Amino acid sequence: MPTLTIDNQQVTVTDGSTVLDAAEQLGIIIPHFCYHKALGPVGSCRMCAVTVHEGTFKGLKMSCLVKAEEGMVVTTDDQQSVEFRARVGEWLMLNHPHDCPVCDEGGECQLQEMTIASGHGIRRYGGKKRTHNNQQLGSFVAQEMNRCIQCYRCVRTYKDYCGGSDFGVMGSRNRVFFGRYKEGPLESDFSGNIIDACPTGVFTDKTYRFKSRYWDLQEAPSVCPHCSLGCATIPGGRYGELQRVRSGVNEKVNGFFICDRGRFGSSYVNHPDRRRQVRSDGQPLTVGDGLSKLDAQARELIEEHGPEAVLLLGSNRASLETNWLLQRWAAELGCRAPLLSAHLQRHQAAQVAAFDLSDRLASLEKVRQSDLVVLFGVDPLAEAPMLAVALRQAARNGALIMVYDPRPIELPCEVDHQPTSPAQLLAMLVSDCEPEIVRIREMLSEAEMPVLVAGGDLLGAEGLLRVKQLAVEQSNEKRPCLIHPILGGPNSFGSAVLSLPEQDDLLTRLESGRTKMLICVETDPLLEAPEGERFGTALSHVDNLVVFDYLPTPLSVHANLFIPSTAPAESAGSFINNEGRQQLFAPVTNPRLPIAETGAGNHPPREFLSTAPGSDPQPAWQLLQQLLGDMGDLETVRQQMATAVPRLVDFTNLQPGGVCCRVTDADERSLYAGDLPEQPEGSLQLVVTPARYGSDLPSRFSAKLTPRFAPAVLQMNPKDAAALKLAAGSKVSLDTEVGSFNLILNCNKDVAAGCALVENGAAFPHLVPGGLPSFCQVSAGVRDD
Amino acid sequence: MSTPQLLFKNRRPGETVFIDGYKATGGYQGLEMALKDSSPEEIREQVKESGLRGRGGAGFPTGFKWNFFPSGAPGPKYLVCNCDEMEPGTYKDGVLLAADPHQLVEGMILSAFALQTDVGYIFIRYAYEQQADYLRKAIAEAKAAGYIGKNILGSGFDFELHVHGSAGRYILGEETALLNGLEGIRPNPRLKPPFPATRGLFGRPTTVNNVETIANIPHIITGGALWFRDLALTPGSSGTKLYGLSGHFNVTECFELPVGIPLREIVENYGGGIRGGRKFKACLPGGASTPYLTAEHMDVALDFDSLEKVDSRYGTAGVTAFDDQTCMVAATFNLINFFARESCGWCSPCRDGLVMVRWLLETIDNGQGTPEHLEMLKDQLKNIAGNSFCALAEGAMGPLAGLLNHFEQEIVDHIETGKCPFRK
Amino acid sequence: MAQEEKIDQIGLLEEEELAAFIDHACELEHPREMVIDVLRAIQKNHGWVPDEGVELTATILGITPIEVEEVATFYDKIFRRQVGRFPIHICDSICCWSNGGEELAEQFQKTLGITFGETTKDGLFTLLPSCCLGVCGQAPAVMIHQKLYGPLQLDDVDELINRLRREASA
């Protein structure tokens, strides 16, 4: 812990800190470009120069490279340093075009800020500027190479940090070019990070091009709703339109970067089909009238048919507050406790994570620091993309990454992947002699910071419990063996924390015929539950279907009463991520019809209204408060909730985009998930995996992501295909318990033998990941059903 | 010629000596002696004693550099010879290899033994394909003679030697850029520390030495450290040096002469004076990156320390002379143009700062300069020198410093008359 | 062999050469160190390195085309654009400059009717400026296919060009 003096102020910093870090601790921001917290220093831009008066190396030094020493004396504002930094500013601006008025970076341009900070103002260079031809890099990232100041951050982000393989630096001297070998869409699932990493307008968000100036944009810290990791994001909106998302910083979770699904998957908020008005059997109503009608009908039904007549359904997309108020409203109505998920198996897996694993959860930060990560039933790029980047960081530091999964796993790092079918996976976890588990045990016992990553969808509750057994057995006094579970949705853990121990199934309840009214809050079981078709049939028993949602789901079209709620970016709320971290999000914009739509490209109509068109949607928690007749604001709700659910972190300690804490440990829940089914002879194990884009509903309804949507295919190991005499590329019929589907066959040797793999997504929504282990037949030809 | 000829012992115009000729004059005796009688430590000690300083330009004491090398560390270690001789005015390694390639091969084996490295690379520039062919032949001969391979001369020491080509670019002469070039990745210099002795080629301990440096090793082993020291003319110096003469000398050849020889002798005796009966105006004493010497420096001894005292550098001892009709602004513009074009593009002072300097010199040379341009030139020198990532931009500032030190009036003349006083 | 033929679709390398590179890449712990060797071999056969050459190099070494391109575009003696049969590198560094290098360069341009970076219509010659070629004692000098010529007088240019033309038509 050296103490040093910077600009006459003393500061004590941790060992290994640089002078740049130490200055920042004092609030002195030394201008810099090539240094980035996640990428580290490389010493190329020379902008962060300071003068070292006392220390091992004296004189003008780059503060990003010089380690803080005891007794060091440094100045940042002496003439030598100030003058040198001004020169660096001048050098960097030699070729920079004066196109700030038409540059999307304007207003949030680090080059602009640092140039001013460096003191460079007047251009003296009168020579020719170098110019470049730009490349078309696909639909996400726009390139304008003339603006480049060669800080190398893009290539360090894209290639070194995120592991992309189709981007690099070409040429040399003052003509270096950052781009692809040939024009074409960037292939990495983390390509958008170069937008954030670029300190100027070389790489900008193409989907946001010319939409807003930074200072006109409304931004607020948020939590990504696209998977269970809960990465920090900063969405930005204007004129009722959510225009872009950039990465937030959460060192415990995503670090500094996010995935493309999170970045470019935000346009669901502005979906043209989004319903923004209460509709009762097709008739528009005010929100107040709609809620009164709902309240009256619900009470009437319960009175007439008993507590089973009304069924409330929460979800892992709905916030913690919404799910909890749903429970309160149920109690107030006198109906049975709500189900907090339409997907029983996913909900059970989440409960195992939230209860049984709660004392051994690992954050993504822990994954990055681990020296041995073993993944059981997880495909990171499909289920939790930033996990892949975290694994890469571990691997870069020398960690070994082992994956046991039936899918053809692609990771941006070296990985030891053993294709393993779901049944093999579950069996090996409790085996004493299976060679792979013997090998894993041996390696785990030698690892210093081992982490087991467990996929809730593939392993189910039972599999997660088996991974826990392994972790318990591999923990010792010196270090625990931690688990990083991957769950179904952004608030899976949260709804599990709130859930009651009793297990209940939506379909059983509906098929009993006793439910007269079903109220779905931010969920569509047709798309989000494993047996969508059976749910559809069961719905016929229900007289009254009520839907609260912000997505134009099929279910909301069928609803007798539809009440529009707000998207996470339009409301305050909280989610609990896959490792139990309670995180707040803040509202970015108010819900309203985007001006771009109301004006149809022209100026919007000049009518004087007291409210904006389409501004009816309200946060679901607020709608529920009205139904409860409670006028308490969000703080009050949170206070009540934290009191009622002692595991939750006191909300007053948390901040959106700032402090987030893990909920406290809980006792084991000891769920009984049921026996694993036997595999019928001659069948294949059915593996349903989320598509990388368009499996979670927000991304499916985001038009920006459609270029990345993949066509529906069935994947099999070529040996299995050969045994069944099926040719790769041919049309095959997939027969499952829930129906038959015609698909094109792809053969891939990295698919585990004995498995048939399909991706759930926009092109194939029929099968949903995370259901009970099930089996299927694959046969040649097309079947008409 | 009274200077003992070590490196040019076998040099005959237009001829290349191979193993028979090399052995006929005592070649490989040093290696045979050393492998039989000496330990690696003893050889390292002898090299340290000899006072040999790196002949690639920086002049770092070789024995000192070798002492950093973890020769006892387990696992692969590398010895790399830097034959990326690309600094304008420097061609001595090319001449040496064209005359007598086995000297380098023997030197590499001896050095590898001293450092206990089992693999060696000779990284050779694109334009020296002829020399690369000679080296490949010499290595094959040495292999056949049992000097390279497993258990060399029964000593238990194994060594493999490879020739690795390049494809242009001056930056490859920077040792860490060279290592990246060898690895097949972009040859930007690396951040130091870690130094190559700790993490060099493929992340393993590596030492990088110049051709002439390594070619001196067999002579030090056979002749002894003291003898080698005494070859130099000035105290604190040691050995002979290859001086490549170029520019406006009457004779533009490469000579082996003592370290510490006065400039006058080079100009008057070896260079044969300035061509066309003109006067000596200035010279680059050791390659394009060394600040100019002028007529007032005629009696300065050419060695590392003496030249530092007159704000110049010994460099590679490639002496490029300029006659009294040379415009030093134009000459410096030419030199800066070289450095700006050869920048790897990594750090700002080099990539962009040199472009700025080039533009300033061009503007002044064209007669469009103003007093502000002169001030800016001084200001660029002050800020670029010492502040770049590697030594390339630092080297580029050598001639600029020389220009401003000795020929500021020439700049002023350009500015005041609005034209180049030397241009017809 | 059938597979090897497939990876070099336009015959950039001799069959034995390709096989030797593939074998050598398999032997080496770090095959990437061969990148310049392979690019130079392709250039020697084909005169320059087309996209297919970058891709072939990547295949031989088991790396991505961008990784090859990052290196190929760094070096000025690897041509990523078509050049004439005789690319003439004219040294413009200090020793040649001080010995009439600029006049020599002008003479080449006049004789061939092209400027730097251009190729003669017959596809024979490309003029390129080069940094120091390492023959400073024989200034001014030029390099053609790794062969050095110097010192060159202005009168020598015609003769050199004619000799190369004869070589081309032979």
Q: Are B63 and B47 in contact (CB under 8 A)?
A: yes
- In one letter, which amino acid is A303? E
pLDDT value of residue A769: 96
Return the residue matching tokens 């390492």. Answer: C134
Closest CA to A387 of A496, A487, A457, A267: A487
Query: What average pLDDT score do residues B90-110 get?
Result: 98
Chain-chain contact of B166 with C136 (C-beta, under 8 angstroms):
no
pLDDT value of residue A604: 66
Contacting residues of C for A171, CB less than 8 Å apart: 73-74
Q: For C66, name the nearest residue in chain A, comparing CA atoms only.
A: A181
Q: Is B36 on the interface with C (CB under 8 A)?
A: no
- B34 to chain C, closest Cα gap in Å: 31
pLDDT tens digits along A362-396: 999 999 999 999 999 999 999 999 999 999 999 99
pLDDT tens digits along A135-194: 999 999 999 999 999 999 999 999 999 999 999 999 999 999 999 999 999 999 999 999
Confidence of residue A611 (pLDDT cuts 50, 70, 90): confident
**How large a percentage of chain C has pLDDT more than 70?**
97
**Is residue C149 assigned to a domain?**
yes
As a whole number of Å, the end-to-end CA separation of chain B is 41
State the Cα–Cα distance between residues A622 and A601, nearest whole angstrom. Answer: 33
Backbone angles phi, psi at A182, to 5 degrees: -135, 155
C126 plus C97 within the same structural domain: yes
Confidence of residue A532 (pLDDT cuts 50, 70, 90): confident
Tokens of A597: 């739509």
Chain-chain contact of C66 with A171 (C-beta, under 8 angstroms):
no
Tokens of A390: 């975290």
State the Cα–Cα distance between residues A214 and B126, nearest whole angstrom. Answer: 50
Tokens of C94: 């200090």
Q: For B249, name the nearest residue in chain C, comparing CA atoms only.
A: C137
C97 plus C130 within the same structural domain: yes
pLDDT value of residue A660: 83
C53 plus C90 within the same structural domain: no
Show Cβ contacts of residue A686 under 8 Å, excluding neighbours closer than 6 positions: A736, A755, A756, A758, A767, A774, A775, A776
Closest CA to B245 of B280, B194, B204: B280
Chain-chain contact of B247 with C99 (C-beta, under 8 angstroms):
yes
Q: For A44, name the nearest residue in chain B, comparing CA atoms only.
A: B347
Chain-chain contact of B167 with C61 (C-beta, under 8 angstroms):
no
pLDDT value of residue B389: 96
Chain-chain contact of C64 with A181 (C-beta, under 8 angstroms):
yes
Q: What average pLDDT does chain A have?
A: 95
pLDDT tens digits along A14-72: 999 999 999 999 999 999 988 999 999 999 999 999 999 999 999 999 999 999 999 99
Q: Is the pLDDT of residue C5 over 60?
A: no
Contacting residues of C for B254, CB less than 8 Å apart: 137
**Is residue C65 assigned to a domain?**
yes
Residues from A in contact with C at Cβ < 8 Å? 165-172, 177, 180-182
Show Cβ contacts of residue A273 under 8 Å, excluding neighbours closer than 6 positions: A552
Q: Are A535 and A506 in contact (CB under 8 A)?
A: yes
pLDDT tens digits along A719-737: 999 999 999 999 999 999 8
Confidence of residue B3 (pLDDT cuts 50, 70, 90): confident
Confidence of residue A600 (pLDDT cuts 50, 70, 90): low
Tokens of B381: 């020198």
Q: Is the pLDDT of residue B355 over 70?
A: yes
Chain-chain contact of A166 with C74 (C-beta, under 8 angstroms):
no
Other C-beta atoms lying within 10 Å of the C-beta of residue B372: 12
Q: Which of A210-219, A404-413, A668-677, B47-56 has the lowest mean pLDDT?
A: A668-677
Q: Is B184 on the interface with C (CB under 8 A)?
A: yes
Contacting residues of C for B245, CB less than 8 Å apart: 137
Chain-chain contact of C77 with B167 (C-beta, under 8 angstroms):
yes
Q: Are A103 and A201 in contact (CB under 8 A)?
A: yes
Contacting residues of A for C74, CB less than 8 Å apart: 170-172
Predicted complex: ipTM over 0.85: yes
Q: Is the pLDDT of residue A606 over 80?
A: no
C154 plus C91 within the same structural domain: yes
Contacting residues of B for A44, CB less than 8 Å apart: 346-348, 389
State the Cα–Cα distance between residues B166 and B121, nearest whole angstrom. Answer: 12
State the Cα–Cα distance between residues A264 and A269, nearest whole angstrom. Answer: 12
State the Cα–Cα distance between residues A232 and A584, nearest whole angstrom. Answer: 10
**How large a percentage of chain A has pLDDT more than 90?**
91
Closest CA to A405 of A90, A771, A156, A755: A755
Other C-beta atoms lying within 10 Å of the C-beta of residue C115: 10
Give the CA count within 13 Å in the CB-facing half-sphere of B399. Answer: 33
Chain-chain contact of C64 with A171 (C-beta, under 8 angstroms):
no
Contacting residues of B for C61, CB less than 8 Å apart: 184
Last residue of a domain, one of C11, C43, C74: C74
- B396 to chain C, closest Cα gap in Å: 13
Q: Are B367 and B414 in contact (CB under 8 A)?
A: yes
Confidence of residue C3 (pLDDT cuts 50, 70, 90): very low
- C79 to chain A, closest Cα gap in Å: 12
pLDDT tens digits along C103-147: 999 999 999 999 999 999 999 999 999 999 999 999 999 999 999
Confidence of residue A472 (pLDDT cuts 50, 70, 90): very high
**What is the CATH number for C70?**
1.10.10
Three-state SS letters, chain B: CCCCCCCCCCCCCCCCCCHHHHHHCCCCHHHHHHHHHCCHHHHHHHHHHHCCECCCCCCCEHHHHHHCCCCCCCCCCEEEEEECCCCCCCCHHHHHHHHCCHHHHHHHHHHHHHHCCCEEEEEECHHHHHHHHHHHHHHHHHHHCCCCECCHHHCCCCEEEEEEECCCCHHHHCHHHHHHHHHCCCCCCCCCCCCCCCCCHHHCCEEEEEHHHHHHHHHHHHHCHHHHHHCCCCCCCCCEEEEEEEECECCCCEEEEECCEEHHHHHHHHCCCEHHHCCEEEEECCCCCCCCEEHHHCCCEECHHHHHHCCCCCCCCEEEEEECCCCHHHHHHHHHHHHHHHCCCCCHHHHHHHHHHHHHHHHHHCCCCCHHHHHHHHHHHHHHCCCCCCHHHHHHHHHHHHHHHHCHHHHHHHHHHCCCCCCC
**Is residue C62 assigned to a domain?**
yes
Chain-chain contact of B167 with C29 (C-beta, under 8 angstroms):
no
Query: What average pLDDT score do residues B106-126 get?
Result: 98
As a whole number of Å, the end-to-end CA separation of chain A is 72
State the Cα–Cα distance between residues A229 and A36, nearest whole angstrom. Answer: 23
Backbone angles phi, psi at A761, to 5 degrees: -175, -165
DSSP H/E element including A455: strand A450-455
Closest CA to A41 of A18, A23, A70: A18
Chain-chain contact of C66 with A167 (C-beta, under 8 angstroms):
yes
Q: Are A366 and A450 in contact (CB under 8 A)?
A: no
Other C-beta atoms lying within 10 Å of the C-beta of residue A403: 23
Chain-chain contact of B346 with A44 (C-beta, under 8 angstroms):
yes
C7 plus C58 within the same structural domain: yes
pLDDT value of residue C4: 45
DSSP H/E element including A3: strand A3-6
Last residue of a domain, one of C36, C53, C74: C74
C150 plus C113 within the same structural domain: yes
- C103 to chain B, closest Cα gap in Å: 14
pLDDT value of residue B324: 97
Backbone angles phi, psi at A584, to 5 degrees: -95, 150
Tokens of C107: 């003479």
Inter-chain CB pairs, A–C, below 8 Å: 27
**Is residue C123 assigned to a domain?**
yes
Q: Are C145 and C133 in contact (CB under 8 A)?
A: no
C62 plus C105 within the same structural domain: no
Name the 3-class secondary structure at C113.
coil
C147 plus C105 within the same structural domain: yes
Query: What average pLDDT score do residues A449-461 get?
Result: 97
Listing DSSP states for A225-282 in one string gives -SSTT--EEEEEEETTEEEEEEE--BTTTTBT---HHHHH--GGGG-TT---SEEETT
Best mutation site among A91, A115, A123, A178 for testing chain B: the one with the most B CBs within 10 Å? Answer: A91
**What is the CATH number for C143?**
3.40.30.10
Q: How many domains does chain C have?
A: 2
Contacting residues of A for B389, CB less than 8 Å apart: 43-44, 46
Q: At what angle do helices A620-628 and A320-333 cross, to 10 degrees?
A: 20
Return the residue matching tokens 């109301």. Answer: A598
Q: For B170, name the nearest residue in chain A, comparing CA atoms only.
A: A173
**How large a percentage of chain B has pLDDT more than 90?**
98
DSSP H/E element including A142: strand A141-143
C119 plus C143 within the same structural domain: yes
C68 plus C103 within the same structural domain: no
State the Cα–Cα distance between residues B256 and A381, nearest whole angstrom. Answer: 65
Neighbouring-strand partners of residue B124? B83, B165
Neighbouring-strand partners of residue A451? A373, A482
State the Cα–Cα distance between residues A80 and A88, nearest whole angstrom. Answer: 12
Best mutation site among B352, B358, B389 for testing chain A: the one with the most A CBs within 10 Å? Answer: B352
**Is residue C10 assigned to a domain?**
yes
C105 plus C68 within the same structural domain: no
**Is residue C21 assigned to a domain?**
yes
Chain-chain contact of B348 with A91 (C-beta, under 8 angstroms):
yes
Last residue of a domain, one of C50, C74, C98: C74
State the Cα–Cα distance between residues A65 and B155, nearest whole angstrom. Answer: 45
pLDDT value of residue C1: 40
DSSP H/E element including A622: helix A620-628
**Is residue C41 assigned to a domain?**
yes
Inter-chain CB pairs, A–B, below 8 Å: 82
pLDDT tens digits along A192-231: 999 999 999 999 999 999 999 999 999 999 999 999 999 9
Chain-chain contact of A167 with C64 (C-beta, under 8 angstroms):
no
Tokens of A165: 């393989």
- A46 to chain B, closest Cα gap in Å: 7
Closest CA to A9 of A72, A79, A80: A72
Residue C61: domain span: 2-74
Closest CA to A579 of A484, A454, A452: A484
pLDDT value of residue A702: 97
pLDDT value of residue A601: 64
State the Cα–Cα distance between residues A31 and A738, nearest whole angstrom. Answer: 60
State the Cα–Cα distance between residues A183 and A173, nearest whole angstrom. Answer: 22
CB-nearest partner of A172 from C51, C67, C74: C74
Tell me how many degrees the CA angle A181-C90-B176 measures, rounded to the nearest 5: 50
**Is residue C81 assigned to a domain?**
no
Tokens of B15: 């001829």
Confidence of residue C2 (pLDDT cuts 50, 70, 90): very low
Confidence of residue A505 (pLDDT cuts 50, 70, 90): confident
- Touching chains, B (3+ CB pairs < 8 A): A, C
C90 plus C165 within the same structural domain: yes
- C67 to chain A, closest Cα gap in Å: 7
